[in-house]
């Protein structure tokens, strides 16, 4: 299990280096471009298989315990260690990352994004996967920061080289926001490590802030929280996200929404909550307020974009919807209760599945129509996907109702638990303030339903195809292969939430109890 986790973390990075080597005889394909794309599918497939084996070998009776651990000295003078491990909080995120990256590689094998060398594209995709997996597996604050930053370079180039209109501006904005946030976060991480005498995240979580004064915790949470909030993204630090999503290629948007945003919220749960609980308690009401502001802001922005005549871009609309959905995740974390934090972790996974599927579908619609502009898509009578490409239209409607939180699908449970957590926050937090946040968040669910149903009406419904207009291609085989797992898991998580909550709840209970069983 130790070797397996190390392979999962380092395997994609080694695969990225191997992408520049000549293809072995069995993987040569018909051209060098096809060979390297096949290499990407092979490497990500092996990592996904290894992650599944890790999950099968995981001790589900003790999900609160760190398993498959590796702990060796790296920089002795600073007591920085290569410390890896996985528990019920990080295991679902590892699986989600491995799955989405494999599906993106599979999708790109048949439909690679227009741009420079496929070899560079595959290498960047694998480096991105390695950095993301490492973020969810490392248990040392310095390594956490390094892994957190590793993803910036590949995502920058994926947007800047393979993106659409205004891609360079969007990529630069993405890097500037995240790097500035990360510099502040590094100061907070160093403050915690130097004051506590260790960078080990397990030891710090077990100590539960007892080795840090309240003032140190407050400063640390402020610094660390700003860096994490940018990556989440939390309103009003979100403005890089719509531009990045709009410009990114389809697979870039899928990974950005499905995986990279989870790194910020994971950092709040893994680092800020257990290591500096007094600091989190001081900022929790403000975090909740910013969270619900993001819920309302994201929904109102989507309603504006979907309004006829506003030339709203469908990819941009889904990006703004992410601001709202991640607001529920932050609200759950701010409650500092097992119910709220479990809801946040569940909403993390649900958002990755549903929004990943939505960006795949939006990319398919854009490929068929040549645009993601809602006014152009809808025209006078509506895009009419139900009649022109019924399977594609049905999938768009399915993903939309899953995103609005329809009971029985994955989007429902996380948001409901986050609101329940706000109804009864942790001791020491203002219940009237959190009840207000709960009410505002609940109103946000109504706005979410409104704009997503409007999207379904404008994109899926409409009149018959005009005479002389060519028919649309319905869902193709490679699209079916890439999208089916996400749709199936969305249904499974909605009907059987205990599969995920059974993993996260014991780990969350122990985390909030200061590492005590």
> Residues 62-85: what's their mean pLDDT?
85
Which has the closest alpha carbon to 160: 142, 145, 175, 144? 175
Rounded to whole angstroms, the maximal C-alpha distance in the chain is 75
Q: What mean pLDDT comes out for the span 226-239?
A: 88
Rounded to the nearest 5°, which phi and psi values hold at 430? Answer: -75, 115
Helix 277-306 with 314-334: angle, nearest 10 deg: 150
pLDDT in tens, 142-176: 999 999 888 888 999 999 888 877 888 888 888 88
Q: Hey, is 200 helix, strand or coil?
A: strand
pTM for this prediction: 0.91
Ramachandran angles phi, psi of 86, nearest 5° = -140, 140
pLDDT at 134 over 90: yes
Residues 299-353: tens digit of each pLDDT: 999 999 888 877 788 888 999 999 999 999 999 999 999 999 999 999 999 999 9
CA–CA separation, 8 vs 26, rounded Å?
23
Predicted confidence at residue 447, as pLDDT, reads 93
With CA atoms as reference, report the closest residue to 232 among 256, 254, 201: 256
Give the pLDDT of residue 23: 61
* Whole-number pLDDT of residue 468: 53
- Give 427: exposed, middle or buried? Use CB within 10 Å, 0-12, 13-18, 19+: exposed
For residue 83, pLDDT over 60 is answered with: yes
pLDDT computed for residue 235 by the predictor: 87
- pLDDT at residue number 338: 93
End-to-end Cα separation, the chain, in angstroms: 23
Indicate the Cα dihedral angle 225, 226, 227, 233, nearest 10°: 100
User: 435, exposed or middle or buried, with CB in 10 Å at 0-12, 13-18, 19+?
Assistant: middle
Instruction: Specify the 3-state DSSP secondary structure of 68.
Output: strand
Percent of the chain with pLDDT over 70: 94
pLDDT of residue 267: 92
pLDDT in tens, 165-213: 788 888 888 888 888 888 999 999 999 988 888 888 888 888 887 888 8
pLDDT at 503 over 70: yes
Closest CA to 305 of 323, 320, 293: 320
pLDDT tens digits along 46-60: 999 999 999 999 988
Q: Please, what is the average pLDDT of the chain?
A: 87
Long-range contacts at 63-69 (CB < 8 A, ≥ 24 apart)? 63/87, 63/88, 63/91, 63/502, 63/503, 63/504, 63/506, 63/507, 64/88, 64/506, 64/507, 64/509, 64/510, 64/511, 64/517, 66/139, 66/202, 67/1, 68/1, 68/2, 68/4, 68/5, 69/2, 69/139
**Over the stretch 258-300, which tens digit does the pLDDT of each residue have?**
888 899 999 999 999 999 899 999 999 999 999 999 999 999 9
Provide the pLDDT confidence category of residue 64 given band limits of 50, 70 and 90.
Answer: confident
Token reading at 407: 């009971």
Burial class (CB within 10 angstroms; exposed 0-12, middle 13-18, buried 19+) of 307: middle
Q: Which DSSP category does 84 fall into? A: E
DSSP annotation of 31: S
The pLDDT assigned to 45 comes to 93
Strand-pair partners of 84 = 70, 138
Is the pLDDT higher at 379 or at 39? 39
Cβ atoms of 266 and 348 within 8 Å: the answer is: yes
Length of the chain: 517
Decide which of 469 and 457 is more confident. Answer: 457
Read off the tokens for 328.
């529920």
If pLDDT is split at 50, 70 and 90, which confidence band does 515 have?
low
What was the pLDDT predicted at 99? 95
Band of residue 377 on the pLDDT scale cut at 50, 70, 90:
confident
In 3-state terms the chain splits into helix, strand, coil percentages (rounded to 5) of 75, 5, 20
**Could you read off the pLDDT of 107-121 as tens digits, one per residue?**
988 888 877 788 889
- Smallest CA-to-CA distance from 129 within 56, 68, 40 is with 40
Contact 36, 23 (CB under 8 A): yes
């Amino acid at each position: 299990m130790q070797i397996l986790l190390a392979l999962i973390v380092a395997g994609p990075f080694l695969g990225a280096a191997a992408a520049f080597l000549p293809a072995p005889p069995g993987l040569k394909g018909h051209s060098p471009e096809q060979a390297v794309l096949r290499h990407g599918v092979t490497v990500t497939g092996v990592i996904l298989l290894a992650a599944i084996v890790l999950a099968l070998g995981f001790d589900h009776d003790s999900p609160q315990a760190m398993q498959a651990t590796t702990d060796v000295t790296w920089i002795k003078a600073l007591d920085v260690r290569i410390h890896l491990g996985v528990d019920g909080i990080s295991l679902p995120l590892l699986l989600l990352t491995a799955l989405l990256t494999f599906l993106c590689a599979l999708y790109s094998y048949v439909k690679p994004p227009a741009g420079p060398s496929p070899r560079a594209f595959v290498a960047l995709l694998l480096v991105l996967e390695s950095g993301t997996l490492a973020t969810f597996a490392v248990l040392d604050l310095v390594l956490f920061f390094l892994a957190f930053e590793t993803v910036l370079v590949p995502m920058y180039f994926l947007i800047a080289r393979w993106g659409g209109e205004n891609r360079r501006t969007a990529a630069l904005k993405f890097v500037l926001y995240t790097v500035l946030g990360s510099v502040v976060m590094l100061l907070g991480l160093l403050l915690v490590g130097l004051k506590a005498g260790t960078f080990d995240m397990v030891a710090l979580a077990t100590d539960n802030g007892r080795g840090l004064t309240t003032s140190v915790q407050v400063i640390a949470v402020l610094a660390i929280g700003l860096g994490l909030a940018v990556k989440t993204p939390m309103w009003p630090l979100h403005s890089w996200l719509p531009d990045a999503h709009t410009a990114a290629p389809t697979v870039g948007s899928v990974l950005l929404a499905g995986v990279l945003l989870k790194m910020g919220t994971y950092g709040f749960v893994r680092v800020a909550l257990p290591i500096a609980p007094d600091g989190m308690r001081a900022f929790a009401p403000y975090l909740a307020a910013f969270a619900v502001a993001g819920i309302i802001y994201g929904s109102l922005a989507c309603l504006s974009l979907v309004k006829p005549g506003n030339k709203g871009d469908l990819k941009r609309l889904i990006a703004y919807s992410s601001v709202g959905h991640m607001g529920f995740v932050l609200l759950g974390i701010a409650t500092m209760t097992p119910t709220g934090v479990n809801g946040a972790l569940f909403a993390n996974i649900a958002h990755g599945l549903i929004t990943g599927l939505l960006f795949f579908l939006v990319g398919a619609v854009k490929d068929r129509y040549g645009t993601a502009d809602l006014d152009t898509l809808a025209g006078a009578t509506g895009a009419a996907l139900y009649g022109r490409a019924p399977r594609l239209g049905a999938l768009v409607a399915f993903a939309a109702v899953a995103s609005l939180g329809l009971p029985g699908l994955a989007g429902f449970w996380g948001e409901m638990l986050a609101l329940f957590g706000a109804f009864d926050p942790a001791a020491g937090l203002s219940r009237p303030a959190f009840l207000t946040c709960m009410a505002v968040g609940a109103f946000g669910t109504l706005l979410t339903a409104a704009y997503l149903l409007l999207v379904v009406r404008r994109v899926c419904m409409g009149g018959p195809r005009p005479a002389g207009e060519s028919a649309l291609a319905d869902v193709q085989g490679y699209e079916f292969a890439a999208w089916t797992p996400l749709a199936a898991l969305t249904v499974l998580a909605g009907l059987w939430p205990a599969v995920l909550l059974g993993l996260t709840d014991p780990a969350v209970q122990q985390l909030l109890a200061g590492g005590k069983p």
